[in-house]
Amino acid sequence: MSVLVVLLAVGAACCLGLGFVLQQDAARRAPLRDFLSPRLLLDLMRVPSWLAGIGLMVCGMVLGALALGNGELSVVEPLLATNLVFALALSRRLTGQRLGRQGWGGLWLLAGGVTAFLLAGQPQGGRADTDPLRHWLVVGTVAGLALLLTAFARHPRTRGTPVLLGLAAGLLYGLQDALTRVSGEKLTEGGWPALMAGWQPYAVVVLGVTGLILVQSAFEAGPLRASLPALTAAQPLAGIVCGIGFLGDRVRTDTGALAWEAAGLAAIVAGIVLLGLHPAMPEGRDRHGSTAVGGVGLDGPHDSGR
C-alpha cells in the first residue's frame, strides 16, 4: 500500500468532509419546491458557503481520482470514509461541542475498522474482469438499488428521506469511483481517443450530477447527522463491491481474513453512525420543514422561498 495513495485518499476525505458541512448549511435553507430537481443546484449557486463547499468537494474528487489512479479501489474507499472525521471536526469548531465518549468511540471504531480491513484483506490489484455480463450485473445492481431508494424518498417531509437519499447518493458515488478508475486506465493505455470512445467517462459525469442533486436534496430535507452517515457508509461498500466485482481487486479469502474484514467493515459502519449522530453535527430542517436554530449559519439569514 503506497504512502502516496494514503495521503491522496486522506486529503480527498478532508476536502469532502469540510465541503459537506458547508453544502448542508446552505441546502437546509433552500426552497422545498426544488427538492430532487436540478433547479436546486441553480438556487444554491447564489449561496457563497455552498460554492465554497462545492470547491472543496471538487478538490476532494480530484485527489480521490489521483488516489484511484495509483491504488486499488478497495484501499481508497475505506480511507475516503474518514471524511466524516473532518466533517465532525469543522462542526465541532462551529458549535463548540466536545467530542465526549460518543465522539471518541466513533473515531476509534472508524480508524480501527479501516485498519483492520486493510491489514486483514491486503487488497491487491489484478486483471479487470472482461465479462460484459458480470460488469453490467454489478453496475445495474448498484444503480438499480440507488434508483429504488430514491423512489422511496420522494416526499421531502418524511423522516427517513435524508437517510434514503444519502444511501442512494453513496451508492452512486461508489459506482462513480469505480468508473473513474476505468476511465483513468483507458486514458493511460490509449490516450484521449480511447477514453472518449468509451461510455465510462460520460457515465461518470451523469453519476456525479445525479449524486450531487441527491446529496443536496438530502441536506435540504434533514439534518447532516441523518444524511451524512448514510452517504459515508454506502460509498465505500459500493466501491469495494465494484472493485472486487469487475475491476479485478483481490482480498484475502481465508476464514480468518474474511472474519477480520467483516469485523472491520462493521466497525467502519458503526463508527460512521456514532460520529454522524454526534451532537456537534449541525441540525437542519425539522420534520415540519422549518429551519432548526442549531444550524451553522455561515451566510446569515436566507430567504427560503416559502
Tens digits of residue pLDDT in 198-239 = 899 999 999 999 999 999 888 888 777 788 888 988 988 898
Q: Whose CA is closest to 289, among 30, 24, 23?
A: 30
Residue 255, pLDDT > 70, answer: yes
Question: Read out DSSP for 98-163?
Answer: --HHHHHHHHHHHHHHHHHHHHHH--B--PPP--HHHHHHHHHHHHHHHHHHHHHT--TTSTTHHH
Is pLDDT at 286 greater than 50 in this prediction? no
Q: Averaged over 19-36, what is the pLDDT?
A: 81
Q: pLDDT grade, residue 130 (50/70/90)?
A: low
What grid cell was written down for 305?
422561498
pLDDT of residue 37: 82
More confident residue, 286 or 227: 227
64 vs 222: which has the higher pLDDT: 64
The answer to whether 294 touches 306, Cβ cutoff 8 Å, is no
Which DSSP letter does residue 284 get? -
pLDDT at 157: 66
Question: Per-residue pLDDT for 287 more than 60?
Answer: no
Q: In the numeric block, which cell numbers belong to residue 94?
A: 462551529
Kindly indicate the confidence band of residue 298, based on its pLDDT and cuts at 50, 70 and 90.
low
